[in-house]
Amino acid sequence: MRQRARLAMAMFLLSEAVFFFMLIAAFVYFRAASLAVAAANLKLGATAVFTACLLASSFTMWRATVTRIRAWLGGTILLGGVFLVGQGSEYLRLFRQHITISQGLFGTTFFTLTGLHGLHVLVGIALLAILLGLATERRSVAVETIALYWYFVDVVWVAIFAIVYLWTLL
């Protein structure tokens, strides 16, 4: 069962990888037209902190697969939640500057890409919350499988952070 579940998740993540590749490619396709707005409005500092939280959550996720201690799962949910709060505050700041999904190409590409990623984090948190409620002996295969998803979502964020933030601001 373990092998089957992991293979199934790997195949699903292959399709997810193509999905995010296409969205990132769309961001890059419109980069020249949206660069000025992006450079004037994105902030590196806060987002770097939230990025660190998300990366730390991969560590706690990994600990959860190795130790089977519930606290590591709870920690992962917490760190994922902090990331989403951070993303929400970033959105709010941009909305106050009248940058929305319909304002221009930057808004269109930025909110679609980061929004769909945020949705994946949210789904991950929901899955982990379900795992928290499961009995330990039923958990291990599920935790290992969901962990693959969580690592994947983190890796996608690293790519988004590098292309959307670092490439624009550094």
Partner 1 sequence: MSPAPPRSAIRVWLSTIDHKQIGILYMLTALFFFVVGGLEAMAMRAQLSAPNLKFLAPETYDQMFTMHGTTMIFLVVMPALVGFGVYLVPLMVGASDMAFPRLNALGYWVTLGGGVLLYASFLAGGAPDAGWFSYAPLSEKPFSPHAGSDYWALGLLLLSAGSVIAAVNFVVTIATLRAPGMTIRRLPLFVWITLVNSVLILAAMPALNAALVMLLSDRVLAAHFFDPAHGGSPILWQHYFWIFGHPEVYILVLPAFGMISEIIPVFSRKPIFGYGFVAASTLAIAFLSFGVWVHHMFAVALGRVFISVFAAASMLIAVPTGIKVLNWAATLVGGSIRFTTAMLFAVAFLLEFTVGGLSGLAFAVVPIDWQLTDTYFVVAHLHYVAFGGIAFALFAGAYYWFPKITGHLLNEPLGRWNFWMVVIGFNLTFFVQHILGLLGMPRRVYTYPDLPWWAVLNQISTFGAVILGLGALVFVANLFASLAFGARAGNDPWDAWTLEWAAASPPPTDNFEHVPPVRSRRPLWDLKHPEAPDWATRGGG
Quickly count: other Cβ atoms within 10 Å of residue 2's Cβ: 10
Longest dimension (CA), the chain: 53
Q: Rounded to the nearest whole angstrom, what is the least distance from the CB of residue 43 to partner 1 in the complex? A: 23
Q: Which residues bind partner 1 (CB under 8 A)?
A: 3-4, 7-8, 11-12, 14-19, 22-23, 26, 29-30, 33, 101-102, 104-105, 107-109, 111-112, 116
Q: Rounded to the nearest whole angstrom, what is the least distance from the CB of residue 99 to partner 1 in the complex? A: 13
- CB nearer partner 1, residue 14 or residue 166: 14
Q: Rounded to the nearest whole angstrom, what is the least distance from the CB of residue 111 to partner 1 in the complex? A: 8
Query: Of 3, 5, 1, which is closest to residue 145 (Cα–Cα)?
Result: 5
CA-CA distance, 170 to 153, in Å (whole number)?
24
DSSP 113: H
- CB nearer partner 1, residue 50 or residue 111: 111
- CB nearer partner 1, residue 107 or residue 124: 107
Answer for the pair 168, 43: CB distance below 8 angstroms, yes or no: no
- CB nearer partner 1, residue 17 or residue 84: 17
Answer for the pair 154, 100: CB distance below 8 angstroms, yes or no: no
Answer for the pair 51, 140: CB distance below 8 angstroms, yes or no: no
Q: Rounded to the nearest whole angstrom, what is the least distance from the CB of residue 1 to partner 1 in the complex? A: 10
Answer for the pair 150, 128: CB distance below 8 angstroms, yes or no: yes
Q: Rounded to the nearest whole angstrom, what is the least distance from the CB of residue 169 to partner 1 in the complex? A: 22
- CB nearer partner 1, residue 57 or residue 145: 145
